[in-house]
Amino acid sequence: MRRFTAVLLAALLTATLARPAQAGVMGIMNGDFEAGSGNVFTGWDTFSLPPFIQFLPPAAGVDTNRFVLFNDQSPLETTQLEQTIELTNRSQSLSFDFQFQSSGQTGFFDAPDSFQAGLYDLGGNPLLTSPLLPNVDLPTFLSIDDNGNSASNPGVQFFDTNVPGLRSGWTRVTVDVSAIAPQMAILEFSLFAGNDSLVDSSASLDNVVLTSRAEVIPEPSSMTIFALAIPLLAVGRRRRTRASV
């Protein structure tokens, strides 16, 4: 009986520890901008001239139909989209797809247009930073301007090839957020228009996702085995007690 009980407990331990880790996606509301017939900016706040939704045919390969398009229509303006998110102790990475386009390059004495992404605490302090480009509004973890300059946090990774469903010209960005969790944070995307009225720029954004680390959770079958093992342990204990009398 003692040997059988030991084997049963070993099986329980193996079943619990060997279960594949479960990864979750959490924290971003309406990150694919597919909110339906209601407000397509559900969960997001817009500032300045609000960005608008551009519809793509299904064959375009960016999500299903909709993404956000930031437009620069006059000099010295900033268009922003932001959301307050919760970084839990399991939050691992933030990712999004974007495309930055410009009609030309900014002159030497003009501030260039740029697309920026930043994370801030509720007091407005930057949580992830990068070397600053000269035109950024606030410290950001990613900034790309119309002159081809870019700056990013060391935790940022770029993927523009071999991403299933990613339309040509788009780039997927992933940044590690585990070091700044847990806390509430403000996620902000912006298109900054410099004093270059002859240069028009735009930025497209889609598929904003916050991914969590894997978590091991016991299978229901493992819990059943554990429940069955308890009376067997009790029987074995009673038998050992009688034998010692």
Model confidence pLDDT, tens digit, residues 8-34: 434 433 433 343 434 444 579 989 887
Mean pLDDT over residues 50-68, rounded? 56
Q: Compute the average pLDDT of residues 79-103.
A: 90
HSE (side-chain half, CA atoms, 13 Å) at 106: 24
Please give the CATH architecture assigned to the domain spanning 45-212: Sandwich (2.60)
Work out whether strand 114-120 and strand 142-145 pair parallel, antiparallel, or are unpaired: antiparallel
Residue 128 buriedness (CB in 10 A; 0-12 / 13-18 / 19+)? buried
Tell me the C-alpha distance between 243 and 236, whole Å. Answer: 11
- If you average pLDDT over residues 84-106, what whole number do you get? 86
Mean pLDDT of 112-133: 86
- pLDDT average, residue stretch 59-82: 66
Query: In angstroms, rounded to a whole number, what is the distance separating the alpha carbons of residues 48 and 40?
Result: 17
What band does 153 get if pLDDT is binned at 50, 70 and 90? confident
Under the banding of pLDDT at 50, 70 and 90, the label for residue 42 is confident
- Given this model, what pLDDT does residue 219 score? 60
Lowest-pLDDT range of 8-17, 104-113, 160-169, 217-226: 8-17
**Amino acid letter, 170:** W
- Which range, 22-36, 92-106, 180-194, 221-235, has the best average confidence (pLDDT)? 180-194
Question: Which of 148, 80, 162 is CA-nearest to residue 116?
Answer: 80
C-beta of residue 85 within 8 angstroms of C-beta of residue 177: no
Residue 178 has pLDDT above 90, yes or no: yes
pLDDT at 32: 85
Of 50-54, 84-88, 213-217, the poorest mean pLDDT is in 50-54
Higher pLDDT, 110 or 59: 110
How far apart CA 31 and CA 40 sit, in angstroms, is 10
Which two structure tokens, joined as six digits, stand for 164? 């299933």
Could you tell me the pTM of the whole model?
A: 0.70
Residue 157, both tokens = 């990774």
Contact 172, 97 (CB under 8 A): yes
Yes or no: say if 114 and 125 are a contact pair by the CB < 8 Å rule: no
Query: Which pLDDT value is given to residue 83?
Result: 96
Tokens coding 101: 């386009």
Structural contact between residues 203 and 78, judged by C-beta atoms closer than 8 angstroms: no
Residue 7: pLDDT band with limits 50, 70, 90: very low
Closest to 75 (Cα-Cα) out of 164, 199, 214? 199
Average pLDDT over residues 170-191: 93
* 226 compared with 117, residue with greater pLDDT: 117
- Give yes or no for residue 189 having a pLDDT over 90: yes
Q: What are phi and psi of 98, to 5 degrees?
A: -145, 165
The neighbour count for residue 45, using CB atoms within 10 Å, is 13
Is 136 or 174 the better-scoring residue by pLDDT? 174
**Mean of the per-residue pLDDT values of the chain:** 71
3-class DSSP assignment, residue 90: coil
Confidence band for 176, pLDDT divided at 50, 70 and 90: very high
What's the mean pLDDT in 1-5?
47
Helix, strand or coil, per DSSP, at residue 7: helix
Q: Which among 141, 135, 89 has a CA at the least distance from the CA of 120?
A: 141
**CA–CA gap between residue 205 and residue 129 (Å, rounded):** 20
